[in-house]
A and B are shown apart, each in its own frame.
Chain A
Amino acid sequence: MLGVLVFLATGCAVTLGERMALTTANTAIPLQPIGQVEGRDCASVIFVIPTGRTRIDQAIDDALLRAPGSVALKDVEIKRHLLVLLPPFYVRQCIEVRGEAMKPQEVPHEE
């Protein structure tokens, strides 16, 4: 009984993203914009069997891959899309990330 109460109080956790850098502040990191990109990570549940788990870090990776050389995204919007078809036979969830791809600022070489 005590074990059940401890389990309920501790709760079950689902990881939405790991190993990320985030901020709500203005940073001093020297970055320059490359262009607007978007990335997504999707997973489905077919006949109650999940095909995977949607992750924010994978959606960010997908967005960064679309702008070679980029290391970060600026002014980012993260959205969740849910599509339920004939429940419970097919459910599709996606995480979409949109923002401006940023690459490290080039330091001018001294001659």
Chain B
Amino acid sequence: MKSKRWMIVLCALTLCACTTEFATLPLVSTKPFGSSYAPVATNLRAEECNWTVAVSGIVLPSEPKPDPARVRHAVGSILQQAPGGDLLINASIQSVARVYPFLVIVVVGDCLRIEGDVVDSRTPLDSRGLANP
């Protein structure tokens, strides 16, 4: 009974409880198994931004791209930069805020930056580091 009362109090005090989808991907890992495949390209980067423009403090309407689309687009664009590669390794995801003030106009960017190296999972490396397709 006491816990129910606490739950009611907790609900009354809650201002926001929301869930947003960040990404949907066919494969993710934090294990270093990706380094046992043939490297295709290193230090590649893609950035996806949602820009907002404010003129004299009035925010102009814009249509932000949802996060799952931004993540997929950024990862896809990195893989496109490395033809033959299909797996991004040593990947980092950063959220970057950008502000460009031009007199009474302020352009604000909410950006998602993804960078990493690309390998080809169809070409595993043997114990000597040689390609073994």
Q: Among residues 96 to 128 in chain B, which have CB atoms less than 8 Å away from a CB atom of chain A? A: 96-101, 109, 111, 113-114, 116, 121-122
Q: Which B residues lie within 8 Å of A5 (CB)?
A: 101
The answer to whether B95 and A25 have CB atoms under 8 Å apart is: no
Cα(A74)–Cα(B26), bound, Å: 5
CB distance from A48 to the nearest CB of B (A): 16
User: Is A35 an interface residue, CB under 8 A from the partner?
Assistant: no
Known contacts A8-B99, A60-B30; decide if A82 and B75 are in contact (CB<8 Å): no
The answer to whether A57 and B30 have CB atoms under 8 Å apart is: yes
The answer to whether A22 and B75 have CB atoms under 8 Å apart is: yes
- Number of A residues near B (Cβ < 8 Å) is 50
The answer to whether A78 and B22 have CB atoms under 8 Å apart is: yes
User: Is B25 an interface residue, CB under 8 A from the partner?
Assistant: yes
The answer to whether A79 and B28 have CB atoms under 8 Å apart is: no
Interface of B is mostly: strand
The answer to whether B91 and A21 have CB atoms under 8 Å apart is: yes
Partner of A83, one of B17, B95, B96: B17
The answer to whether B25 and A24 have CB atoms under 8 Å apart is: yes
User: Is B93 an interface residue, CB under 8 A from the partner?
Assistant: yes
Known contacts A14-B95, A27-B121, A78-B23; decide if A21 and B17 are in contact (CB<8 Å): no
Q: Which A residues lie within 8 Å of B20 (CB)?
A: 79-80, 82
Residue positions of B touching A, CB distance < 8 A: 10, 13-34, 37, 72, 75-76, 79, 86-101, 109, 111, 113-114, 116, 121-122
Residue positions of A touching B, CB distance < 8 A: 5, 8-29, 56-57, 60-61, 64, 71-87, 95, 97, 99, 102, 104
